[in-house]
Amino acid sequence: MITFVCCLIALIVGYFVYGKFIERIFGIDAQRQTPAYTHRDGVDYIPMPTWKVFMIQFLNIAGLGPIFGAIMGAKFGTASFLWIVLGSIFAGSVHDYLAGMLSLRHNGESLPEIIGRYLGANFKQFMRGFTVVLMVLVGAVFVAGPAGLLASLTPEHLDATFWIIVVFLYYVLATLLPVDKIIGKVYPLFAIALLFMAVGILVMLFVNHPPLPEITDGMANTHPGHLPIFPIMFVSIACGAISGFHATQSPLMARCIKNEKHGRPIFFGSMITEGIVALIGAAAATYFYHNNGMGENNAAVVVDSITKEWLGAVGGVLAVLGVIAAPITSGDTAFRSARLIVADFLHLEQRSVSKRLMICIPLFLVAIALLLYSQKDKDGFDMIWRYFAWSNQTLAVFTLWALTVCLAVLKKPYIVTLLPALFMTAVCSTYIFVAPEGLGMGTGISQIIGLALTIVVFAFFLIWKKKISQG
The CATH number for 43's domain is 1.10.4160.10
| Parent domain of 159 | 2-392
- Stated pTM of the model: 0.89
End-to-end CA, the chain: 54
| Bond from prior residue into 231 cis (ω within 30 degrees of 0) | yes
Q: Which of 48-52, 186-190, 287-291, 322-326 has the highest mean pLDDT?
A: 48-52
Per the CB < 8 A criterion, the answer to whether 435 and 444 are in contact is: no
Per the CB < 8 A criterion, the answer to whether 417 and 405 are in contact is: no
User: Is pLDDT above 80 for 290?
Assistant: yes
Domain assignment present for 67: yes
Closest CA to 328 of 88, 70, 118, 149: 149
> Residues near 401 by Cβ (< 8 Å), separated by ≥ 6?
119, 421, 425, 457, 461
Domain assignment present for 285: yes
> Total structural domains in the chain?
1
Q: Please tell me the distance from the alpha carbon of residue 410 to that of residue 408, in angstroms, as a whole number.
A: 5
User: Is pLDDT above 80 for 153?
Assistant: no
Q: Please tell me the distance from the alpha carbon of residue 390 to that of residue 428, in angstroms, as a whole number.
A: 7
Q: According to the model, what pLDDT value does residue 267 have? A: 97
Q: Please tell me the distance from the alpha carbon of residue 413 to that of residue 437, in angstroms, as a whole number.
A: 37
Q: Please tell me the distance from the alpha carbon of residue 42 to that of residue 343, in angstroms, as a whole number.
A: 16
Read off the pLDDT band of 120 (50, 70, 90): confident
Distance of CA 420 to the CA centre of its chain: 16
More confident residue, 251 or 168: 251
Domain assignment present for 439: no
Domain assignment present for 106: yes
Share of the chain above pLDDT 90, in %: 41
Domain assignment present for 261: yes
Q: According to the model, what pLDDT value does residue 323 have? A: 66
> Residues near 168 by Cβ (< 8 Å), separated by ≥ 6?
143, 364, 367, 368
Domain assignment present for 328: yes
Distance of CA 157 to the CA centre of its chain: 34
Q: Please tell me the distance from the alpha carbon of residue 141 to that of residue 143, in angstroms, as a whole number.
A: 5
Domain assignment present for 421: no
Per the CB < 8 A criterion, the answer to whether 416 and 22 are in contact is: yes
Domain assignment present for 426: no
